[in-house]
Amino acid sequence: MAKVKLKAIIFGAPGSGKGTYASRLQAKLGVEVIATGDIFRELLKEDSELGRKVKVYVEKGLLVPDEIVVEVLKQRLSKIPKGKGFILDGYPRTLEQAKILEGITKIDVILLLDVLDWIIIERLSTRRICRNCGTVYNIRFLKPKVEGICDKCGGTLYQRSDDNPEVIKKRLQVYQEQTRPLLEYFKAKKAPFVASSTPTLDTPPELIVDKIIAELKKLKLA
């Protein structure tokens, strides 16, 4: 598996499959996936100075301030082997974060997942997550081998309280409001976009991933 020095951000609404596609691209391209949500979960388990800083905000239900998020991001980026690329998932979320990111690293391409709202609502309504390791399943088309049990670690699976149609619609609306300015920002910066659409509920992830890689090759980024 060849290493690719690709520096990408993956954008997509909640339930668009960012984690699924990023992990498959990781396997095929040999890049790192930097998912801020996963990093925070790992930090919360550690007894480190940074972990304790994050814990203060998470336990109060507050957003972690940008300066701490940036500290976490810089620390994670510093651990990537020289010459190896990455895909950012979950950062930036705001224009301010995008501007801060620009001072940390150059971004080669934006990966944009375009999924119809009704598909997302159906996906999230049937999503299940491992309480222990965070692996995501779907009781319709990505079932665990044993119902309610994670294949990877044996943890129990649960459904998020906000994975219901009404809450999902609100989350999609918030995503559109927050993300549109970000996409315009990167377009103004002349960042290349690789957009992929998911036309049906049962479109195989591999099909989308192969299309993304084909477009990256055209840009000489894969």
HSE value, Cβ hemisphere, 13 Å, CA-based, for 17: 29
**Averaged over 176-192, what is the pLDDT?**
93
In order, the DSSP letters of the chain are ------EEEEE--TTS-HHHHHHHHHHHH--EEEEHHHHHHHHHHS-SHHHHHHHHHHHTTPPPPHHHHHHHHHHHHHTSPTT--EEEES---SHHHHHHHHHH----EEEEEEE-HHHHHHHHHTEEEETTT--EEETTTB--SBTTB-TTT-PBEE--TT-SHHHHHHHHHHHHHHHHHHHHHHHHTT--EEEEEE-STT--HHHHHHHHHHHHHHTT--
Q: Averaging pLDDT over each range in 104-113, 131-140, 165-174, 195-204, which range is the top one?
A: 104-113
pLDDT at 140: 86
Q: Could you tell me the residue ranges of all domains in the chain? A: 7-116+175-218
pLDDT at 43: 83
**Backbone angle region of 204, left / alpha / beta, with phi > 0 → left and psi within -120 to 50 → alpha:** beta
Residue 2 has pLDDT above 60, yes or no: no
Q: What is the mean pLDDT of the chain?
A: 90
**Averaged over 158-172, what is the pLDDT?**
90
**Averaged over 201-211, what is the pLDDT?**
89
Q: Over the Cα atoms of the chain, what is R_g?
A: 17
Q: Rounded to an integer, what distance in angstroms lies between the CA atom of residue 38 and that of residue 167?
A: 22
Residue 39 has pLDDT above 80, yes or no: yes
Please tell me which residue, 82 or 62, carries the higher pLDDT value: 82
pLDDT at 99: 92
User: CB-based contacts of 201: which residues, under 8 Å, 6+ apart?
Assistant: 119, 122, 123, 141
Please tell me which residue, 207 or 40, carries the higher pLDDT value: 207
Please give the CATH architecture assigned to the domain spanning 7-116+175-218: 3-Layer(aba) Sandwich (3.40)
Q: Rounded to an integer, what distance in angstroms lies between the CA atom of residue 84 and that of residue 30?
A: 8
Q: Rounded to an integer, what distance in angstroms lies between the CA atom of residue 126 and that of residue 124?
A: 5
Q: How confident is the model at residue 162 (pLDDT cuts 50, 70, 90)?
A: confident
Counting beta carbons within 10 angstroms of the beta carbon of residue 83, is it exposed (0 to 12), middle (13 to 18) or buried (19 or more)?
exposed
Q: Rounded to an integer, what distance in angstroms lies between the CA atom of residue 130 and that of residue 150?
A: 6
How big is the CA angle at 79 (ends 214 and 53), to the nearest 5 degrees? 115
Q: Rounded to an integer, what distance in angstroms lies between the CA atom of residue 218 and that of residue 187?
A: 19
Please tell me which residue, 19 or 63, carries the higher pLDDT value: 19
Point out the residues that are catalytic.
18, 93, 127, 160, 171
